[in-house]
Amino acid sequence: MIQNVAERLTFVDFAPTANNIYSDVVKGLSLKQKSIPPKYFYDERGSRLFDSICETPEYYPTRTEMAILSNNLAEICDCLGPNAVLIEPGSGSSQKVRLLLDQLEPHTYMPLDISSDYLLQVSKTLIEEFPELQVAAACVDFTKRMNLPHYPDNRRRVVFFPGSSIGNFEPHSAEKFLKNMSYLTGSDGGLLIGIDLKKNSDLLNAAYNDKQGITAQFNLNVLYRINSELGANFKINQFQHHAFYNEDDGRIEVHLRSRCDQEVKIIDQTFLFTPGETIHTENSYKYTIEEFSALAFRAGHQLRHAWTDDQQQFAVLYFDVR
């Protein structure tokens, strides 16, 4: 018998408070290289802007990863196993997991995201689309070690982390995050993860500087959010999006660059900007499969399968917890 929507959806809200955001933002803007953690991109508006980025012609990762998942679906689902608890940190619109849900038939899907309203909307949609799916959603900062409130007993737990989101972490933080994921799944768990591969810098630079300017809107949205939630006075039109591939570090860097001398107040703190000075808002590290599998191995994961597209732009990797 199919349960009704209310019986199949649980939702818990551990969203960062204004105090958390204030502390992180002030700490970042006090550094010599001013920064803002990229997790604060993702309020409801930011989440929708990111969905739009994924549809731009220049942004190859989403469509490439979707094709890899579709072309290897049966083999991927065999690795994950049926009737498991499928955990997706940074679930966003849960677009890619839809490819897995029908064939995988997990016992429970557990989306984790930092945008509470957006997560709840997406979770309700999934319940309607998949009439037998159990959804246990948690609004949580998944970049930190966490104890989740709902684990069905005696079910294998696997993590699905698509979209090359692991590239947003510094390598040492990526290793720590992967250790946290093995803590969530336990020793018999698994990890299915997407990574963006190293490639021609022209292709990379275009992907983060789309002609429609949606990535620029997404980047600037973090300032709108700080203004709205913390009462700051960022003059949005006095900052511009700046993204480029740093060949030496193997990463895309995303910044907001000040157009002029300016002063920004956030509650009781004041920050001065000079022309050309930047706020570092995001990194996106690119890896070879060998580089990433070595990093994951140090975090307790053993590579079992790797799938790529014909042009070797992107990879989907499956790891067992070792």
Q: Inform me whether the pLDDT recorded for 147 exceeds 80.
A: no
Comparing 138-142, 151-155, 211-215, 290-294, the range with the smallest average pLDDT is 151-155
pLDDT band at 141 (very low <50, low <70, confident <90, very high): confident
pLDDT band at 134 (very low <50, low <70, confident <90, very high): very high
- Across residues 151-169, what is the average pLDDT? 90
Percent of the chain with pLDDT over 70: 97
CATH top class, domain 5-16+49-200+287-321: alpha beta
pLDDT band at 5 (very low <50, low <70, confident <90, very high): low
Residue spans per domain, the chain: 5-16+49-200+287-321, 33-48+201-285
pLDDT band at 1 (very low <50, low <70, confident <90, very high): very low
Please give the radius of gyration of the chain, using alpha carbons only, rounded to the nearest integer. 20
pLDDT digits over 75-132, tens only? 999 999 999 999 999 998 999 999 999 899 999 999 999 888 899 999 999 999 999 8
pLDDT band at 13 (very low <50, low <70, confident <90, very high): confident
Q: Inform me whether the pLDDT recorded for 3 exceeds 60.
A: no
Q: Inform me whether the pLDDT recorded for 4 exceeds 60.
A: no
Q: Inform me whether the pLDDT recorded for 238 exceeds 80.
A: yes
The whole-chain average pLDDT of the chain stands at 93
User: pLDDT at position 149, please?
Assistant: 63
The 3-class secondary structure across the chain, one letter per residue, is: CCCCHHHHEEEEECCCCHHHHHHHHHHHHCCCCCECCHHHHCCHHHHHHHHHHCCCCCCHHHHHHHHHHHHCHHHHHHHHCCCCEEEEECCCCCCCHHHHHHHHCCCEEEEEECCHHHHHHHHHHHHHHCCCCEEEEEECCCCCCCCCCCCCCCCCEEEEECCCHHHHCCHHHHHHHHHHHHHHHCCCCEEEEEEEECCCHHHHHHHCCCCCCHHHHHHHHHHHHHHHHHCCCCCHHHEEEEEEEECCCCEEEEEEEECCCEEEEECCEEEEECCCCEEEEEEEECECHHHHHHHHHHCCEEEEEEEECCCCCEEEEEEEEC
Q: Inform me whether the pLDDT recorded for 283 exceeds 80.
A: yes
- Across residues 135-149, what is the average pLDDT? 83
pLDDT digits over 33-68, tens only? 999 999 999 999 999 999 999 999 999 999 999 999
The whole-angstrom separation of Cα 98 and Cα 83 is 15
pLDDT band at 142 (very low <50, low <70, confident <90, very high): confident
155 with 161: CB under 8 angstroms?
A: no
Q: Inform me whether the pLDDT recorded for 316 exceeds 90.
A: yes
- β-strands 108-113, 134-139: how paired? parallel
Comparing 101-115, 213-227, 275-289, the range with the smallest average pLDDT is 101-115
Q: Which residue has the higher pLDDT, 236 or 13?
A: 236
Q: Structure pTM?
A: 0.93
User: pLDDT at position 7, please?
Assistant: 80
pLDDT digits over 181-216, tens only? 998 898 899 999 999 999 999 999 999 999 999 999
